[in-house]
Amino acid sequence: MHWCMGLEEYKRDIEAGRTVFMAKPNEKMRKKVNANIFGIFSHNYSYLLLFIISISFFLQLLIPRPYYTGLLILDPLLVKERPWTLVTHIFLHGSFEHFFFNMLFFIFFGPVLERKIGSTKFLLIFFLSGIFAGIGWSLTSAYPALGASGSLMGIFATLAVLMPRMRVYFFFLIPMEIWMVVVLFALFDFIMLGSGDMIAHTAHLSGLLFGLVAGMWLKKTF
């Protein structure tokens, strides 16, 4: 069907004695397909990140730990030799439950912040919150860490500054304004510092702190 679109032009070119570059319709079709594929994620970087993190978790399940997770996990004792892990640890998760609840949280709040501040600023908040969380963890612990929680805390805190009256459901049941939930999260992480519960509380607090600062800076631009 696509070739028929150029049939009349082709006949006219033959009658005029001209040659025709038959690849042009294919080129147009190829560009259209590519545009449709990438258009899904255009100005929807939150969904693109969700997709990449999901693929990364799938790779964790497929590839033996030393060759994937072990290479990308944040190890405070090795962070100077492996600085890329300040970013890559964001895309790893320790279990399906860890992955599922982080991504559920992300899908609720990531797109909201992206629509509020734009895709470029959203990416900066996501990555810088995660990096800041990784630095905070590396300064306070000697144990490896992985997960997007620091980035998610940054997103949540930024939203709390920009949209403090936003209504959320704490534990899916209790309606609260978002700033109240941020305070509860911060208090919980402070209380649990040093508890040895295998949760990176200092990473959460570091990401949250960055999000608060970023939110206050962004609020001046609105």
The string of pLDDT tens digits covering residues 123-133 is: 999 999 999 99
3-state secondary structure (DSSP) of residue 198 = coil
Same-domain check for residues 30 and 52: no
Residue 169: predicted pLDDT: 84
Q: Are residues 191 and 122 in the same domain?
A: yes
Determine the structural domain holding residue 14 and report its residue range: 3-38
Same domain, 10 and 53: no
Output the six-digit token pair for 213: 């600062």
- Domains identified in the chain, total number: 2
- Can you read off the two tokens belonging to residue 46? 């939150």
pTM of the model: 0.80
Shared-domain flag, residues 97 and 191: yes
The neighbour count for residue 95, using CB atoms within 10 Å, is: 11
Instruction: Calculate the alpha carbon distances from 110 to 46, 49, 159, 166 in Å.
Output: 6, 10, 9, 14
Note every long-range contact of 96-100, with CB atoms under 8 Å and residues 24 or more positions apart, other chains counting.
98/147, 99/53, 99/54, 99/57
When pLDDT is averaged across residues 157-169 and rounded to a whole number, the result is 94
CATH number of the domain enclosing 184: 1.20.1540.10
Does residue 69 sit in the same domain as residue 34?
A: no
Judgement on whether residues 27 and 113 belong to the same structural domain of the protein: no
Are residues 185 and 88 part of one domain?
A: yes
Bridge partners, 74 (sequence order): 145
pLDDT at 221: 83
CB 153 within 8 A of CB 204: yes
- Whether residue 116 sits in one domain with residue 147: yes
Does 3 score more than 80 pLDDT? no
Regarding whether 109 and 32 lie in a shared domain, the answer is: no
Find, among 80, 83, 58, 78, the residue nearest to 68 by Cα: 58
C-alpha to C-alpha distance for 125 and 211, rounded to whole angstroms: 7
> In this predicted model, what pLDDT tens digit does every residue of 11-55 receive, in sequence order?
444 344 443 333 444 555 454 444 444 455 566 899 999 999 999
* Cα 184-75-106 angle, rounded to 5 deg: 40
The reply to whether 17 and 58 lie within a common domain is: no
Say whether both 83 and 128 belong to one domain.
yes
Q: Which two tokens stand for residue 86?
A: 């300040």
User: Are 66 and 124 part of one and the same domain?
Assistant: yes
